Structure 1
C-alpha cells in the first residue's frame, strides 16, 4: 500500500462511514479494484483510519459530548452488545472481510430494507422520539441492531438508524444517534486493533496510516453535514436505491468472470 492508496481509502472511509451504505463494504471493494494485496497491514489500516472519522463526530458535536452522565450511560449500554458479540465472533468477521460477494448481497438486502423503511416510517421525518427519550432497554436494542453491521456490507449506520426508527425516533435523531454510538464502537475497535498490532507496524507504514486518518477526518466532516441535510429533506430512499444498484453491478461483474476478490 502506498500514499495514493491511503488517500483514496481515506476518502472512501470518510464518505461512507456515517452514510447508510457500508463503509467496510466500500473499503473492501475499493481495495479490490485498486489491486491492493490483502495482507495483515491492509486489514489493520481499514480499521485504524476509523480514528479520523471518530474525531470528526467529536468536533462537529462537541457540545453534545460535554459532561452528561445520562447520555454517556446510554451510549455505553448501547455499545455493550456490539462489544461483546464482536469479541466473540471477531475471527469470523475477519474471514468475511475478504468476500466481495457477501458485501454485494448485504448491500442489496440492506438497500431494499432502507427503501421499505422510508415508506413505513415516513411519519417520522419531523416528529418522533429524541435521544433523551430513550430508556436503557431501548439502548440495548439499538446496540443489538448495530451488531448486525459486523457482516460486511450491512452498514453500522444503516443498522443503527433502522433500530432507531423501529423505536419511534425521528430520522434526524436516529441518524445523529448513530454518529454518537459510532464513537465508543469505533474507538474500541481501533484501540483493540492497535494493542494487537502496534509492534508489527513498521516505521514506513506510520505515514500511510497518518495520511489515511487525516483524509478520513476532513472528508467525514463534510459527509456528516451532507447526510443530515439529505435525510431532513428526502429521507433514506436514495441511499437504498444506490445500495441496490451497486450490489447488482458487483454481482454481475463477479458472475461474468471479473475477479473482484482481494488478492
Structure 2
C-alpha cells in the first residue's frame, strides 16, 4: 500500500471524526481537505462517505448502554422505546427523500470549495442569529420529544444536503429554535446520525461498488480507525463543552475558515477546484 495514500486516509479520517458532530460541516471540510490532498476523484469521494461509519461507531459506543436499553425496551414493547425509534425514523425521512431527488444535482453544482466557503459563512450568520435569540426551552431531554418535534428537526437536517451547511449544526440549531434544550438538541443530533450516515454509507457502497478493491483495505482501515478515535474524543468533548458554553465560537470559526478559502482563491495561493 502506498504510504502517501495511507497518510491521506489518516488525515481525512481525523478530519471526518473531528468535524462530523460539530456545527462546522464535515462534508465541507472533507471537500476542502480532499482538494488540498489531491484525493477528490470518484474513489476519494467514496472514501469520504464510507469513513463516516467510523464516526457512527463512535456514537454507538459512547451511547451503548442507552441504545441497549432502547433495544431491550423494544423487545418488551415499551412505549418510550417505540417512540424513540419512531422519532428517529420521522427525522430521517426528509433528508433521505430530498437526497434521492436532488442529491445528484447538488453534487454536480455545489460540491466545490468556493460553494462550501459561501455556505460556511451563511451558516455562521444563522448560528449567531440563533444564539442571540431568547431560548424558550420546552423539551429538556430526547425522551420528551414527540413525532412533530422529530419532523421539524428532520426538515432542519435536510438543509445539510447543501455542502458546508453542517448536518449536526442544522439539527442542533434547529432544535434550539424549536424549543429543545442544548443537551437534548445535541444528543438527538448524535442519535440521528446513526440512521442518516449509516444508510448513506450502505447506499454509496452499493452504488459505487465497482470502485471497491481489496487493494484499498489498508486505506479503508486507516480511515475508519482514525475517524472512530477522533469522533469519539470529539463527542465526549462536545458534551462537556455545551454544559457551560454556546455555539458562537463555531460560528466565528466558520466565518474565518470561509474568508481564508476565498482569500486563497482570490490571490491564487491555492488552486481550488471549481466545478
TM-score, scaled relative to structure 2? 0.90
Partner in structure 2 of residue 58 of structure 1: 60
Contact kept in structure 2, 1:35 and 1:262, CA below 8 Å:
no
Decide which structure has the larger Cα Rg and report it.
Answer: 2
2: distance between equivalents of 1:243 and 1:121? 23
Partner in structure 2 of residue 173 of structure 1: 184
Deviation at 1:262, TM superposition (A): 7.2
Instruction: Tell whether 2:117 aligns with 1:104.
Output: yes
2: distance between equivalents of 1:39 and 1:82? 25
Deviation at 1:96, TM superposition (A): 4.0
Of 65, 71, 93, 1:80 maps to 93
Query: Once the two structures are superposed, what CA deviation does each residue of 1:190-215 show, in whole Å capped at 9, x if it has no partner?
Result: 01011112243122112211210111
Query: Once the two structures are superposed, what CA deviation does each residue of 1:79-127 show, in whole Å capped at 9, x if it has no partner?
Result: 0111111111121232245311110011111112112222214565xx8
Of 218, 229, 236, 1:225 maps to 236
Partner in structure 1 of residue 49 of structure 2: 47
Cα 1:44–1:97, aligned 2, differ >3 Å: closer, same or farther? farther
2: distance between equivalents of 1:209 and 1:262? 27
SS at match of 1:234: coil
TM-score, scaled relative to structure 1? 0.94
2: distance between equivalents of 1:240 and 1:117? 11
Superposition CA RMSD, Å: 1.7
Contact kept in structure 1, 2:83 and 2:146, CA below 8 Å:
no
2: distance between equivalents of 1:100 and 1:16? 16
Partner in structure 2 of residue 17 of structure 1: 20
SS at match of 1:2: helix
Instruction: Tell whether 2:179 aligns with 1:162.
Output: no
2: distance between equivalents of 1:118 and 1:101? 26
Deviation at 1:132, TM superposition (A): 1.9
Instruction: Tell whether 2:25 aligns with 1:4.
Output: no
Deviation at 1:218, TM superposition (A): 0.8
Deviation at 1:167, TM superposition (A): 1.5
Counterparts in 2 of 1:20-39, with a 5 A limit?
Answer: 20-36=23-39, 38-39=40-41
1: distance between equivalents of 2:150 and 2:135? 23
Instruction: Tell whether 2:216 aligns with 1:216.
Output: no
Q: How many residues were matched structurally?
A: 260
Partner in structure 1 of residue 154 of structure 2: 143
Q: Unpaired segments of 5 or more residues in structure 1?
A: none
Partner in structure 1 of residue 273 of structure 2: 261
Q: Unpaired segments of 5 or more residues in structure 2?
A: 72-80
